[in-house]
Structure 1
Amino acid sequence: MATGYDPADPLAKGTFATAKQGWKDLFIWKQRVVVTNDFGEEHTEWQAPAPLKNPISLFAQLNAKDWTYFLVGFSAWAADAFDFHALSIQTTKLAKYYHRTNTDITTAITLTLLLRSVGAAIFGLAGDKFGRKWPMVMNMIVLGLLQIATIYSATFQQFLAVRSLFGLFMGGVYGNAIAMALENCPVNARGLMSGILQQGYSFGYVLAACVNLGVGGSTNSWKTVFWVGAGLSIGIGFVRACFPESKQFIEARKAGKRAKAPDVFWQETKKMLRQEWRMCIYCIILMTWFNYYSHTSQDSYTTFMLTQKALPSAGATRASILMKTGACVGGTIIGYLSQWFGRRRTIICAAIISACLIPAWILPTTEGGLSASGFMIQFFVQGAWGVIPIHLNELSPPAFRSSFPGVTYQLGNMISSPSAQIVNAIAESHSVKSSNGKPASAYGPVMGVATAIIALGIAVTTALGPEKRGRHFETVGPPVAEVVAKDIEEGRVSYEKAETRATETVDEETGSTDRDTEKK
């Protein structure tokens, strides 16, 4: 047993005990960590966070292959966001094109978000079983084709049907993209890289807004934005096809042969859900708050500026671009700080600051004021989001690092899917005086109250949750299903014994330092 460490009480068992321990640990600078030595002996100790390193030196730790994985994952996530926001930033154009209300058009957003969870489950599990590469290639190409199908939707019903299918394939991108991008990163660089990666979503929004600004405000110009999105998605799909499989997945396959019995992986998936159901529920709740946080504060912001603030289309689009530029900057900086300040403390502080900025966000009447306040609030909204990719990866069961983040994220998306409709419906049912003195839908008050409630919910949920900052990914062995399958296939142990061994693998991999399979 190692000596010279600062001992800590073991990790609490049970929901309320874990919440109580998580709350207390929030005010302790050191972090409670489970360490497993080479002999399989475990102990819990307090570890002080390492000082922040120069970002340039952190970038230098990634080799060319690591950067390739990261950039492809970032690009896929940005294209996914472009495709989604091509609709949300053009709600007014689409409403005129199909002769519907803004609330009717946001039904498409609800359907997209509802079906994303289904796609996340299908393609996330496919990513864990078959690899990160080909599920992502398929996702991106089909997304591009569905963007084209949207353009040729002649009726509103066809439009809704295509956007529903779009949501199904859109849901598979996130889990595989962040797993491929982050599991190859060095441990102390993950906070910074997580912040940059998450801002692929904001970067996609900025690209969509820039294209929207370029095509002008005519009703039919929405189709050009969708053509650009289709080209981006299909292009990234073909680029991903040219690069090799993720290193982590290749090493897992080398460690053991593929299971001949197709049900082994699914048996282990069900076992993971039985063992980790509390973690699953917690992450789904957290992601529900976060998805409401994001969609409530951004999806109707352009409509808010066009109607209540009476800005011209070009001015509202410019303000939206600056708003999401703040998101890109904030997500990168705050994600980087989380490596030192702690994942949970960083999220809580960012959420509280964003709530304090709400009056400054909705009260200005000029393009300059709205641009500046939008920049600042999204700096902290997406700053909190910048911690999420690595936080979810560190909380994930090791053999399910592709499916777990994607499924929990998209289930949160599904629950929060009516957010745009709720905001639009409540806003359109209440009137306020607009900047030009005419009655207008009450987007500002509705968005402000909703964002304040959500920010408080995020702070409380995060304060009562777990954290596994610094967890090692690179020592994780193959997926549990492959360990079981190899043992059974080669006749070394019975199924029952192999199953026990697999369970031990999962248990041992919950600490910050994981033993690989060979040491067993």
Structure 2
Amino acid sequence: MGETEAFLAIKNQERAETSNGFLKQAKAAGKTYWLIFIYMILFMSGMNFMSHGSQDLFPTFLSTQLEFSKDRSTVTNSVANFGALAGGIIIGHLSQFVGRRLCIMVCCIIGGALIYPWAFIHNNGINASVFFLQFCVQGAWGVVPVYISELSPPNFRTLIVGTAYQLGNLASSASSTIETTIGEQFPLYDSHGMQIVGKFNYGKVMAIFMGCVFGYELLVTFIGPERRDDGSSDEKVAEDAAAQEMKLGLEKEQSMFREDLEHQSEDAAHKA
């Protein structure tokens, strides 16, 4: 596959602007875009907490608390992943028409409403709840790539998007540890009221955790900006870079024309 038009256009622009190195441009971008960079880190932290908080401990919840067999647990997790695939495709596509932030916020609201059946239904109905909860979680994720790309300055999109994502992932890496630690405060009891050793109410823990995460991400997305189709497409970047390259070319031609005039004037003066 070939490179994108935006990448090629930016490379042409960099070759034309030989006086501006990467470090100089990065420093200028840092002064200008530091606030949006911080916002993207906060946003991506919430998104990563959303996915890891709903997925990492869930297989343990099925096997230890609900005592699902390996086959039954596999079926439930597969249904959850089908929901994730459907959500990412459908919501990601809808965001092109109804807005990035609106789609993410709607997913947070509906996902929050599905927490109870997802965490507390213990029969086969859990398959429906995990499908639709992961539909919302990964539906929001389906918007993320284009959303954060649109927020980033074109010349530093790869650097800013990649760094913001990985820092958000770093922040959420303790999701399962947090949930298991909190889970120790909610032990399970048998029918005689005796505590079951090594078993905890992970369903309640995940419900509390995901409620907080959905609320956090809803708030962060609500206060954040949106730049849908606002100069972030490959075509727009290519057009801007081409215009800049043309401007530099005209300036170069004008400079050469002035030099020619000066040389002609000097020759005329010398002959005179």
Letter in 2 for 1:469: R
Q: C-alpha separation between the residues in 1 aligned to 2:186 and 2:98?
A: 42
SS in 2 for 1:432: strand
Letter in 1 for 2:133: I
- What is the match of residue 348 of structure 1? 105
Residue 470 in structure 1 maps to residue 229 in structure 2? yes
CA distance change for structure 1 residues 434 and 244 in 2, over 3 Å: closer, same or farther?
farther
Q: How far apart are 1:255 and its partner, in Å?
A: 4.0
Residue 251 in structure 1 maps to residue 9 in structure 2? yes
Matches within 5 A, 1:203-282: 243-257=1-15, 264-282=21-39
Letter in 2 for 1:311: F
Q: C-alpha separation between the residues in 1 aligned to 2:184 and 2:70?
A: 20
Map Cα deviations across residues 420-459 of structure 1 (whole Å, 9 max, x no partner): 2111222245312489x98322211111001001101111
Q: C-alpha separation between the residues in 1 aligned to 2:89 and 2:189?
A: 37
Residue 415 in structure 1 maps to residue 174 in structure 2? no
Q: How far apart are 1:310 and its partner, in Å?
A: 0.3
Q: Can you give the 5+ residue segments of structure 2 that lack an aligned partner in the other structure?
A: 254-272
Q: C-alpha separation between the residues in 2 aligned to 1:330 and 1:248?
A: 29
Q: How far apart are 1:370 and its partner, in Å?
A: 2.1
Q: How far apart are 1:301 and its partner, in Å?
A: 0.6
- What is the match of residue 206 of structure 2? 447
SS in 2 for 1:311: coil
Letter in 2 for 1:476: V
- What is the match of residue 126 of structure 2? 370
Scaled by the length of structure 2, what TM-score is found? 0.80
Letter in 1 for 2:66: K
Tell me, yes or no, if the aligned pair for 1:308 and 1:433 is still in contact at 8 Å. Answer: no
Scaled by the length of structure 1, what TM-score is found? 0.43
Task: Give the percent of matched residue pairs that are identical in Structure 1 and Structure 2.
Answer: 36
How many residue pairs align between the two structures?
243
- What is the match of residue 89 of structure 2? 332
Residue 457 in structure 1 maps to residue 216 in structure 2? yes
CA distance change for structure 1 residues 356 and 385 in 2, over 3 Å: closer, same or farther?
same
Map Cα deviations across residues 175-214 of structure 1 (whole Å, 9 max, x no partner): xxxxxxxxxxxxxxxxxxxxxxxxxxxxxxxxxxxxxxxx
Q: How far apart are 1:471 and its partner, in Å?
A: 2.2
**Structure showing the higher helix proportion among its residues:** 2
Letter in 2 for 1:246: T
Tell me, yes or no, if the aligned pair for 1:255 and 1:478 is still in contact at 8 Å. Answer: no
Q: C-alpha separation between the residues in 2 aligned to 1:409 and 1:396?
A: 12
SS in 1 for 2:229: coil
Tell me, yes or no, if the aligned pair for 1:307 and 1:434 is still in contact at 8 Å. Answer: no
Q: C-alpha separation between the residues in 2 aligned to 1:434 and 1:470?
A: 57
- What is the match of residue 144 of structure 2? 388
- What is the match of residue 294 of structure 1? 51
- What is the match of residue 510 of structure 1? none
Q: How far apart are 1:387 and its partner, in Å?
A: 1.1
Q: C-alpha separation between the residues in 2 aligned to 1:448 and 1:299?
A: 13
Tell me, yes or no, if the aligned pair for 1:351 and 1:458 is still in contact at 8 Å. Answer: yes
- What is the match of residue 316 of structure 1? 73
Q: C-alpha separation between the residues in 2 aligned to 1:353 and 1:324?
A: 18
Letter in 1 for 2:5: K
Q: How far apart are 1:303 and its partner, in Å?
A: 0.8
* Structure showing greater Rg: 2
Q: How far apart are 1:460 and its partner, in Å?
A: 1.1
Q: How far apart are 1:251 and its partner, in Å?
A: 2.9
Q: How far apart are 1:419 and its partner, in Å?
A: 1.0
> Superposition RMSD on alpha carbons, in Å?
2.9
Q: C-alpha separation between the residues in 1 aligned to 2:176 and 2:16?
A: 44
Letter in 2 for 1:270: K
Q: C-alpha separation between the residues in 2 aligned to 1:258 and 1:429?
A: 62
- What is the match of residue 264 of structure 2? none
Q: How far apart are 1:267 and its partner, in Å?
A: 2.1
Q: C-alpha separation between the residues in 2 aligned to 1:324 and 1:446?
A: 21
Tell me, yes or no, if the aligned pair for 2:108 and 2:218 is still in contact at 8 Å. Answer: yes
Matches within 5 A, 1:3-18: none
Letter in 2 for 1:358: I
Letter in 1 for 2:236: T
Q: How far apart are 1:399 and its partner, in Å?
A: 0.9
Tell me, yes or no, if the aligned pair for 1:296 and 1:419 is still in contact at 8 Å. Answer: yes
SS in 2 for 1:285: helix
Tell me, yes or no, if the aligned pair for 1:330 and 1:378 is still in contact at 8 Å. Answer: yes
CA distance change for structure 1 residues 254 and 245 in 2, over 3 Å: closer, same or farther?
same
Tell me, yes or no, if the aligned pair for 1:280 and 1:408 is still in contact at 8 Å. Answer: yes
SS in 2 for 1:270: helix
SS in 2 for 1:257: helix
Q: C-alpha separation between the residues in 2 aligned to 1:271 and 1:260?
A: 16
Q: How far apart are 1:253 and its partner, in Å?
A: 2.5
Q: C-alpha separation between the residues in 2 aligned to 1:364 and 1:454?
A: 21
Matches within 5 A, 1:167-186: none
Tell me, yes or no, if the aligned pair for 1:398 and 1:479 is still in contact at 8 Å. Answer: no
Q: How far apart are 1:417 and its partner, in Å?
A: 1.6
Q: Can you give the 5+ residue segments of structure 1 that lack an aligned partner in the other structure?
A: 1-242, 493-520
Match of 1:397 among 153, 174, 195: 153
Q: Which has the higher contact order (CA 8 A, sep 6+)?
A: 2
